[in-house]
Each structure stands twice: as structure tokens, then as C-alpha cells.
Amino acid sequence: MSFEEYAALARQLSEQRRAGEQHAATEAARRRDLHAAVDYLQQRLTAQGHRLDQLGRAIGIDQPPPGPPSSVGSAPSTPPSSAGSAPSTPPGTGDGGDAGAAGAPGRAGVGAYPELLAGEARLALPTAVSPAGVGVPAQRAAAVDPTVELELARRMADEADRHGQQAEVLAQRPALLPTWSPLARAVAVYAGCGAAAGVLVLALVLASGVGLVDGFTLGAWICAGLPAVAFFGGYLVLGRWGRPAMVAGTPPRYLPLGFLICFLVVPMAYCAYLLLVRGLR
């Protein structure tokens, strides 16, 4: 070997070594990036799990319902049968001879491989039947790319975050008039309770007209009794159906405003009744 050939071989070996080192460094960097992505995704999933637990406790669910038991890896109660236990003269051969384990692929009781357990059936290689009728192992499935799987998991985590934010927005709305502001909701509730008390005022006025209720009792109910009932009714309604599932602190119930509305609506209903009666006379 001449010196020039030796030098060319040395350069070739050096280039192969540098290429191998560069490939190893690239592979190590890719593995580090994959591990970092897995750690970040694990942290996101852990945070999502904690947030889902908070949402579940807010709506009254402490623990998720138990799922169906998994059947992966469970073995059947009866031992698997082997190819040797198959009958020596399968139907349809004609001459009564044994065609062999691989001579009748797909036939019940006869096969090139023994039966597998239920948990191992998914791991068995698929068989491709050749024109000659011999069962041969098919080509294995392609290896899963971890980068693609991590990208799919990241997209699913983003989708879970989006649905979680929507659930939090819905959990911060009360069941009663969810699109209204707290002030408008309180005004509507107190006014509705005052209107219901006004209907009772009309019933009491009619009862007073036929002598069932005296004047003092009617005045007491109109001035104090029914307005107080309407006020406490609105207070309880706002506390029961006007409170969001997830809220920091106690939502305002606007007590002075509710007191003013209830103690004005009921007497105004009585005055409106008097004016209506006088106008019809």
C-alpha cells in the first residue's frame, strides 16, 4: 500500500469517525429534547388533574366513577390447547392422512402455531397466506415515532386545557339568570318576590272586603309582614340559585337595595289596587 492510499484511508476513517460523533451528538440532543418534552407534558397533565379535582369538588363530585375492569393481560381459566391435540384426520382430506400443522391454515383446531392467551393475542404476528397455502409470518408494523406521539399528546393536552377553561367559565356563572350582571339579577329577584307579595296583598284586600280580615291585620301585613317575607325570600333565592359553583368569597346580595325594593313594591301594589278600584267606580 502506497503512502497516498494510506493517507486516503486515514482521511476516510477520520471522516467516518467525525460523522459518527456528529450523529451521536445529534441523537443525544434529540433524546434530551424528548425527555424535556415528556417532563413538561407530565407537569401539564398533573396540573390538569389537580384542576379537574377542584372542578369535581365544586360541583359535588369527590372522586370519578370507577371504570370497567381492564382485560389486558388476564389469562383465561382454561389452559390453551396446542396443535398436537387436534384430530389426526381432519374432515375433507379424503385419504385419512395427516396434512400437517401448516398444511391447513385457518382450519379449526389446526394451525402452524399454538393458541395464545387472551392477553397475548394482540401481540401475535399476523399471518399472510401464500398461494401455496403455507402460513408465514407477515411483516412487522413500523416502529412508533416518539416525536409524533408527543405532538399528538401535546395537542390533546391543549384541547383539554381549552375544555377546562370553558368549564371554569360555566362554573363561574350561577344557575339563575347566568348571563345577567349580579346587580341586575338581584333587582330582578327582589322585584319578583315583591310582585308575588303584591299578589298576596290583593288576596288580603279581597278577604278584608268580605270580613275575613280586619283593618289592623291588613295594614300590618301590607306595611311590614309581606315586605319582610318578600325581602327574605329574595335573599334566600339569591343565596341558593344566584351563587356560582366556583367563586371566591360570597357574591353580593345587595341587601339595602332589596330592602328598599320589597318595602316599596308591596305598598305600591296596594295603592295601585285602590286607584284601580276608584277608577272603575
* Residue 99 in domain: no
* Residue 157 in domain: no
Whether residue 162 has pLDDT greater than 80: yes
The amino acid sitting at 8 is A
Are the beta carbons of 244 and 175 closer than 8 angstroms?
A: no
Are the beta carbons of 246 and 172 closer than 8 angstroms?
A: yes
* Residue 253 in domain: yes
Gyration radius from the chain CA atoms: 41
* Residue 172 in domain: no
* Residue 47 in domain: yes
Per-residue model confidence as pLDDT tens digits over 193-233? 999 998 898 888 888 888 888 888 988 998 889 999 999 99
Q: How many domains does the chain have?
A: 2
* Residue 147 in domain: no
Confidence (pLDDT) at 94: 45
- Cα–Cα distance between 11 and 5 in angstroms, integer? 10
Q: Which of 67, 69, 68, 77 is nearest to 118 (CA)?
A: 77
More confident residue, 8 or 183: 183
* Residue 220 in domain: yes
In angstroms, the Cα distances linking 274 to 56, 92, 144, 186, 260 are 54, 104, 84, 29, 22
When pLDDT is cut at 50, 70 and 90, the band that residue 65 belongs to is low
Residues in Cβ contact with 262 at an 8 Å cutoff, skipping those fewer than 6 apart = 190, 193, 194, 197, 227, 228, 230, 231, 234
Rounded to two decimals, the pTM is 0.53
Whether residue 253 has pLDDT greater than 80: yes
Boundary-marking domain end, from 12, 37, 56: 56
In angstroms, the Cα distances linking 7 to 2, 33, 39, 230 are 9, 39, 48, 103
- Beta-bridged to residue 137, according to DSSP, are 127
Per-residue model confidence as pLDDT tens digits over 86-132? 344 444 444 444 444 444 444 444 444 444 444 444 444 444 444 44
* Residue 136 in domain: no
All three cell numbers of 56? 369535581
Residue 23 lies in domain: 1-56
